[in-house]
Chain A
Amino acid sequence: MAPVLVLWLAMSLSGTWAVDKGNFKTCDQSAFCKRQRALKPGDSPYRALLETMELTNTRLTLQLINDNNKVRLLLELYRLQGNMTRVKINELKPLKPRFEVPDVLITEPSTEPLSLLSQDENGVVLSLGTESQRVIISARPFRLDIMEGPEVLMSLNSRGLLAFEHLRMRKDTSLLIHILAQWMISIFKEEEEKVDGMWEETFKSHSDSKPNGPSAISLDFSLPGVEHVYGIPEHADTLRLKTTDNGDPYRLYNLDVFQYELYNPMALYGAVPVMLAHKAQRTTGIFWLNAAETWVDISSNTAGKVCSSETPQTDVRWISESGIIDVFIMLGPTPKDVFSQYASLTGTQSFPPLAAVGYHQCRWNYNDQEDVASVDAGFDEHDIPYDYIWLDIEHTDGKRYFTWDSHKFASPKEMLQALEDKKRKMVAIVDPHIKVDSNYKIHNEIRNKGFYIKNKDGGDYEGWCWPGSAGYPDFTRPDMRAWWASMFAYDQYEGTAENLYTWNDMNEPSVFNGPEVTMHKDAVHGAWEHRDVHNLYGLYVQMATAEGQIQRSGGVERPFVLTRAFFAGSQRYGAVWTGDNAAEWDHLKVSIPMCLSLGLVGISFCGADVGGFFKSPSTELLVRWYQTGAYQPFFRAHAHLDTPRREPWLFGPENTALIRDVVRQRYTLLPYWYQQFYHAYRTGEPIMRPLWVEYPQDPATFALDDEFLIGKDLLVHPVTEEGARGVTAYLPGKDQVWFDVHTFQKHNGAQSLYIPVTMSSIPVFQRGGSIIPRKMRVRRSSSCMTHDPYTLYVALNLQRTAEGELYIDDGHTFNYEKKEFIHRRLSFAKNMLSSVNLATDAEFSTGSWIERIVILGASKPSKVTLKTADGQESQLEFDFDASMSVLTLRKPGVNAGLDWNVMLQ
């Protein structure tokens, strides 16, 4: 939602429309980045002290020494279950502990045995488990190579960029007696250190006191054979990451960037330090577990070269401001292996309530209860379904979260009940900045409990945000989070009910008057500086909020919480959106790579503000955005306070019809979407995924980011060009066929297909060989459709087979964890479609039945026989469209939870 007021004023004066880059640091302006980037590849000063090696069954430790300053580091190496290797490097004896990121890993990862293969004075060779994988530790200089057979999968410190700024005493604070002794030396040292910004740094008017001095870390990774790397969101950039040799590295530092610019490596609201590297034979991943400000450099020996005889190689380098090196190397080999490896570390996408997969109507702001009621009525009048209506900051009493404006929202419970009567829900915003106001209960409690983040001098940190002066609760504290969660109880958060959910905005955290619009790095979270935990803050806010929602229902109901800031692991707590975008065609386009990048690193529940947040979209852009958003996981329209209204029916009957149509398409596909969410929850695979994930050997797919797959069976190529008359979609798979879901026209795979489009077109294709369940009776909200029957779309492949699944549960509780669901495999082979139970230990009953079966690419049968579980046979009526080879079976009528089969003869 939120722009930055201060900057906003500056913007309106300057009259331009783009991010003010001067408000955000370049690498050169970030002292540690500049220092680290000044190091060039070459011989590493680090040497492995092989004599210090200790090898237990699961863990290898080894000391490294920097020959320049003699500081020793401790290397730990683990083989983790599921084909992963973890490398940790910390100071052997740090002056004080260095920060290690808690709460991101779901458990301490399980290890597998390591064994020594060989050892000499040059190094050590270890076997990584049962496969032919080995780690070679070279001693001088220190270097790690991970091999499989003769192939090097990844090398660490091969370019000698390992750097570890050890903690040190500040010279001018040394004991008095040392001052004289060290005077001569220190005077030179200090000069140098001041220049480097090691003990103090200023940016614009903000000063960072850096009481711990320099603490940056860095390590390089070489990826032989790799030309495509992805991930490290959040950036408004292409799916395939670019080389950074001629500019800044990609930056990971959660920031509230006002009117962000596209196609550059600037940091945005969230950070997931995970990179995927892909080549036709293998996909690997690097998870750099560090929550401090981080920069990632990418270079490639083939970038920009048309033809190169060299073996392609991509080199990446990670630089973080503090903490330790703790890196998980995920060795694939397939994309799905990497997803499951990463999921085993940080968990999977939370399984949302079904309603959250529907359409969300948001605006800054729906002004009052009457406004809410009239927008709600508008949806019914125009027969457009929706599930959630959203309230932005203006609903509160003076931006005091957990309260309601007593004039505009005098009876919130009545309002919620009115929505509940139509089986609809609401989301109200709760931001983490708390108004400093002694008459505000939340503030008083946080202050009295000492829960606020402290400034460097020990007082409560205060910054400016929506309410004016605000405090920022220390969400890194478990007791603070528990208290926060308890505030969502119905008796604490007055005026709330079961159908009210939450939106966490501004949780980077956004501090209007802070450096780079965020918190001072020398603010204090207990033993740690904000510097150490910055990128974790948003994750904790959403974690505590989701926990509050779970608790208020006694652990029964699934939460739904949207967040703007995120970190590795945020997928466990809800949805994210791409922040304050703009009503521009390029913003529509970039929503695809932005969400694809998030999906690759586990965060599947992603969407962009439909219509664009800032500015006002043309009608064409708005319609196209609805068409695109309807096929992205999180589907919410949102608009800035200053823009004119844009509810779907305000653009004339034709456009209302176009929007209605595509929102209804979304609702017919809810069973498929929901099944994808269940799958993502179970496996960690992205819902919205790049084509290369399913076609890893087809280089034509590697850089595609204007089209995508939902699951593996639907391919979507949204129209994102103004005035488009057609789009060219790449349909992958050599022996694959694809069916246009609107016309049922069949197309062969592995071709670029030109598709003429009109305003009503949203090119979507179903993969031959798949079965997709839909509910064709679109109603007011998803909950109204619970008991509705299914239509199965069976798209035959060239072998005349197809497979699909059907997942059904109650749609809103955690009972699926208690095996209360239906999960069936649908398969078509040898002219028989059958439904068999995939989860025999699960139990659930549904009123839904099979209404219709549509078989694409079929031939005309003479007879169709339905056989139910009790052995009863009956003939089904059918209709055959010879022009498109579509066979429609009329009303099998069997319950969707039972065994049955249909025979075509």
Chain B
Amino acid sequence: MHFHMIIVAVFWFGFVDSRKIRGISSSYKRFFRERKSFLCIDGSKIIPFEQVNDDYCDCEDGSDEPGTSACPQGRFYCTNLGFRPHYIPSSRVNDGICDCCDASDEYNSHAHCQNACWNLGQRERAYVEGQMRTLDEGLQLKQQLIEEGVLLWREKQAQLRELQQVAEDLQTKLEERRSRKQEADRLKEQTPRPPEAGDGRLFRGQNSTVTGTFKLLDSNKDGSITVDEVQAKVALVHDEERVLSEDEAVALLGGDHQMDLTTFQHTLWDILTNGGRVKIKDTHGAPGVGEDPPLKVADREWEATNLKKVEEAYDTVNMEISDLREKLAIDYGPDWEFLFLNSQCYKLKVYERWGMWEGPPKNQYGRMVYENGEPCWQGGSRSTTVTLTCGTETALRSVKEPSKCQYIMDFQTPVACQPVLKQRGIHSEL
């Protein structure tokens, strides 16, 4: 080592003019122009020029020893002709391990380093070419997926709008139903409830009044109930399907063929409320009934059922809307390119919840995190970090468990292909 240094020194004195400063890139050459003295690059100190690369660290910033291991903060420039140039920490100079492919870091060590830059360059070029092909193909596929994504996005948006329209309609209906029900409730409260017997059966639990019931039976609204009208609206309790015969209807009308409100109150009304033999037919859904605005003889139960159905429909639609909204609120990337992955299953038998994109700022969509998965034995819950890499097909490449219940997946997909990568291309040095 000592000998070697002497030889180096001799060499220096002999060939001062052609001397090259070891370990610097061409852009740093201006700092090392041959002068009597050298100014540390941070400007902190001036040292004699002989002390540059003399294997002793003089500058705080390590700038006087770019070619030796003397400075703790220093770095050494591997020129690596034929491959990629790069810096290594000074501590890797002459440590017996070949770091620069041009072997320039081991100029005074026991290591026998071969210049491997050309081979590495070859390999790198082949690799980069392969990557480029993958990238090209991937980007095309990505474009398709983006287009599909956009279509899908629009479709979903349309779907959302539709659903929102339906919801609005339903809401109107709901309000209407609610007010009707309230009206019915009010009417019921006004009329004292008949004795409990038969109540449920006759009027299906709905409150009703004499006038209301009369109006209900009086289909043509002429102020009297006829045999036809009774046959249409009244049925036997035990056989709702069978239409009453004319005789039966006449009997209900007190032997007459028609009946006014006053008579009704004293005859048929009594039968309907107390008899338990006949009842008002279930007119549910009968045309015209729903639209009948002033419900004078309202079927309370029927109104409640109706309301419930509308409410259910409304809830269902709203659920679909929030579902869709939630899905649409997920960040599918700037072009919705990740939309197609929604609800796709790439198998792993642990259930986790989607957390967020968590790539580095430059490539935010490069990594996704799933958290709060199934509980792990000995506490905690499972979590997965998925790294997305550019590839021509969408597939799970590998799954690892570096710590218990913490998984790392490598997921390949065209949508992870970034045009940026392509622009970087192969270095001019290659």
- Using a CB–CB cutoff of 8 Å, the interface residues on chain A facing chain B are 12, 367, 371, 383, 421-423, 641-645, 776-780, 783-788, 847, 849, 851-852, 890-891, 893, 895
Question: Contact at A779–B91, with CB atoms within 8 Å?
Answer: yes
* B89 proximal to A (CB < 8 A): yes
Cα distance A579–B70 in the bound complex, in angstroms? 40
* B31 proximal to A (CB < 8 A): no
Cα distance A787–B96 in the bound complex, in angstroms? 10
Across-interface contacts of B95 in A (CB, < 8 A): 423, 779-780, 784-785
A383-B89, A423-B97, A642-B378 known; A787 vs B401 contact (CB < 8 Å): no
Cα distance A891–B64 in the bound complex, in angstroms? 15
A421-B97, A641-B404 known; A787 vs B91 contact (CB < 8 Å): no
Instruction: Known pairs A777-B91, A778-B91; list 4 more (Cβ under 8 Å).
Output: A644-B403, A779-B92, A787-B94, A852-B56
Closest chain-A Cβ to B296's Cβ sits at a distance in Å of: 69
Question: Contact at A383–B91, with CB atoms within 8 Å?
Answer: yes
A777-B69, A779-B91, A895-B2 known; A890 vs B56 contact (CB < 8 Å): yes
Q: Could you say which of B56, B378, B400, B402 contacts A891, with CB atoms under 8 Å apart?
A: B56
Question: Contact at A849–B1, with CB atoms within 8 Å?
Answer: yes
Closest chain-B Cβ to A807's Cβ sits at a distance in Å of: 19
Across-interface contacts of B394 in A (CB, < 8 A): none
Closest chain-A Cβ to B289's Cβ sits at a distance in Å of: 65
* B274 proximal to A (CB < 8 A): no
Give the interface centre of B2, B90, B97, B400 by most chain A CB atoms within 10 Å: B97
Cα distance A691–B187 in the bound complex, in angstroms? 98
Majority-rule SS of A interface residues: loop
Closest chain-B Cβ to A359's Cβ sits at a distance in Å of: 15
Closest chain-B Cβ to A30's Cβ sits at a distance in Å of: 33
Closest chain-A Cβ to B50's Cβ sits at a distance in Å of: 12
- Using a CB–CB cutoff of 8 Å, the interface residues on chain B facing chain A are 1-2, 54-56, 58, 69-70, 72, 89-92, 94-97, 109, 377-378, 400-404, 406
Cα distance A383–B55 in the bound complex, in angstroms? 21
6 tightest A-B CB contacts, nearest first: A784-B95, A847-B1, A891-B56, A644-B403, A779-B91, A645-B403
Question: Contact at B2–A423, with CB atoms within 8 Å?
Answer: no
Across-interface contacts of B404 in A (CB, < 8 A): 641-644
Specify the chain B residue showing the minimal Cβ separation from A787: B1
Closest chain-A Cβ to B184's Cβ sits at a distance in Å of: 59
Cα distance A641–B378 in the bound complex, in angstroms? 11
Cα distance A309–B378 in the bound complex, in angstroms? 56
Closest chain-B Cβ to A18's Cβ sits at a distance in Å of: 16
Across-interface contacts of B403 in A (CB, < 8 A): 643-645
Cα distance A847–B95 in the bound complex, in angstroms? 13
Cα distance A371–B377 in the bound complex, in angstroms? 23
Majority-rule SS of B interface residues: loop
Across-interface contacts of B58 in A (CB, < 8 A): 890
Closest chain-B Cβ to A292's Cβ sits at a distance in Å of: 37
Specify the chain B residue showing the minimal Cβ separation from A891: B56
Closest chain-A Cβ to B88's Cβ sits at a distance in Å of: 10
Across-interface contacts of A852 in B (CB, < 8 A): 56
Cα distance A367–B96 in the bound complex, in angstroms? 29
Question: Contact at B92–A780, with CB atoms within 8 Å?
Answer: yes
Across-interface contacts of A423 in B (CB, < 8 A): 95-97
Cα distance A642–B406 in the bound complex, in angstroms? 10
In the assembled complex, 27 residue pairs joining A and B whose CB atoms fall closer than 8 Å, in A order, are A367-B400, A367-B401, A371-B400, A383-B89, A383-B91, A423-B96, A642-B377, A642-B378, A642-B404, A643-B404, A644-B403, A645-B402, A777-B72, A777-B91, A778-B91, A779-B69, A779-B95, A784-B91, A784-B95, A785-B95, A787-B94, A788-B69, A852-B56, A890-B56, A890-B58, A891-B56, A895-B2
Cα distance A780–B96 in the bound complex, in angstroms? 11
Question: Contact at B402–A371, with CB atoms within 8 Å?
Answer: yes
Across-interface contacts of B92 in A (CB, < 8 A): 779-780
Across-interface contacts of B96 in A (CB, < 8 A): 423, 783-784, 786
Closest chain-B Cβ to A556's Cβ sits at a distance in Å of: 19
Cα distance A783–B72 in the bound complex, in angstroms? 17
Specify the chain A residue showing the minimal Cβ separation from B401: A367
Cα distance A780–B92 in the bound complex, in angstroms? 8
Closest chain-B Cβ to A894's Cβ sits at a distance in Å of: 9
Across-interface contacts of A367 in B (CB, < 8 A): 400-402
Cα distance A851–B1 in the bound complex, in angstroms? 13
Specify the chain B residue showing the minimal Cβ separation from A644: B403
Across-interface contacts of A645 in B (CB, < 8 A): 402-403, 406
Closest chain-A Cβ to B26's Cβ sits at a distance in Å of: 25
Across-interface contacts of A890 in B (CB, < 8 A): 56, 58
Cα distance A839–B96 in the bound complex, in angstroms? 30
Cα distance A776–B55 in the bound complex, in angstroms? 13
Cα distance A783–B111 in the bound complex, in angstroms? 13
Across-interface contacts of A12 in B (CB, < 8 A): 378
Cα distance A891–B50 in the bound complex, in angstroms? 13
Closest chain-B Cβ to A554's Cβ sits at a distance in Å of: 23
Q: Could you say which of A644, A778, A783, A785 contacts B406, with CB atoms under 8 Å apart?
A: A644
Question: Contact at B91–A780, with CB atoms within 8 Å?
Answer: yes
Specify the chain A residue showing the minimal Cβ separation from B68: A777
Cα distance A786–B96 in the bound complex, in angstroms? 10
Specify the chain A residue showing the minimal Cβ separation from B378: A642
Cα distance A893–B3 in the bound complex, in angstroms? 12
Closest chain-A Cβ to B311's Cβ sits at a distance in Å of: 46
Across-interface contacts of B91 in A (CB, < 8 A): 383, 777-780, 784
Question: Contact at A849–B2, with CB atoms within 8 Å?
Answer: yes
Q: Could you say which of B56, B400, B401, B402 contacts A851, with CB atoms under 8 Å apart?
A: B56
Cα distance A515–B271 in the bound complex, in angstroms? 91
A890-B56, A891-B56 known; A422 vs B1 contact (CB < 8 Å): no
Across-interface contacts of B400 in A (CB, < 8 A): 367, 371
Closest chain-B Cβ to A417's Cβ sits at a distance in Å of: 13
Cα distance A199–B355 in the bound complex, in angstroms? 65
Specify the chain A residue showing the minimal Cβ separation from B89: A383
Cα distance A893–B55 in the bound complex, in angstroms? 10
Closest chain-A Cβ to B353's Cβ sits at a distance in Å of: 19
Across-interface contacts of A777 in B (CB, < 8 A): 69-70, 72, 90-91
Question: Contact at A784–B1, with CB atoms within 8 Å?
Answer: no
Cα distance A372–B114 in the bound complex, in angstroms? 26
Closest chain-A Cβ to B214's Cβ sits at a distance in Å of: 74
A847-B1, A849-B1 known; A776 vs B402 contact (CB < 8 Å): no
Cα distance A890–B97 in the bound complex, in angstroms? 28
Cα distance A644–B55 in the bound complex, in angstroms? 43
Closest chain-B Cβ to A746's Cβ sits at a distance in Å of: 24
Cα distance A642–B376 in the bound complex, in angstroms? 10
Cα distance A695–B427 in the bound complex, in angstroms? 65
A644-B406, A645-B402, A851-B56 known; A784 vs B378 contact (CB < 8 Å): no
Cα distance A852–B55 in the bound complex, in angstroms? 11
Closest chain-B Cβ to A105's Cβ sits at a distance in Å of: 43
Specify the chain B residue showing the minimal Cβ separation from A643: B403
Question: Contact at A422–B72, with CB atoms within 8 Å?
Answer: no
Cα distance A777–B92 in the bound complex, in angstroms? 10
Cα distance A367–B406 in the bound complex, in angstroms? 13
Across-interface contacts of B402 in A (CB, < 8 A): 367, 371, 645
Cα distance A777–B57 in the bound complex, in angstroms? 11
Specify the chain B residue showing the minimal Cβ separation from A786: B96
Specify the chain B residue showing the minimal Cβ separation from A664: B72
Cα distance A421–B97 in the bound complex, in angstroms? 7
Closest chain-B Cβ to A604's Cβ sits at a distance in Å of: 29
Specify the chain B residue showing the minimal Cβ separation from A846: B1
Closest chain-B Cβ to A730's Cβ sits at a distance in Å of: 32
Cα distance A240–B70 in the bound complex, in angstroms? 45
Specify the chain B residue showing the minimal Cβ separation from A849: B2
Q: Could you say which of B70, B72, B377 contacts A778, with CB atoms under 8 Å apart?
A: B72
Cα distance A847–B94 in the bound complex, in angstroms? 13
Specify the chain A residue showing the minimal Cβ separation from B110: A787
Cα distance A852–B72 in the bound complex, in angstroms? 14
Cα distance A421–B112 in the bound complex, in angstroms? 12
Closest chain-A Cβ to B124's Cβ sits at a distance in Å of: 18
Closest chain-A Cβ to B374's Cβ sits at a distance in Å of: 16
Cα distance A786–B94 in the bound complex, in angstroms? 11
Closest chain-A Cβ to B10's Cβ sits at a distance in Å of: 16
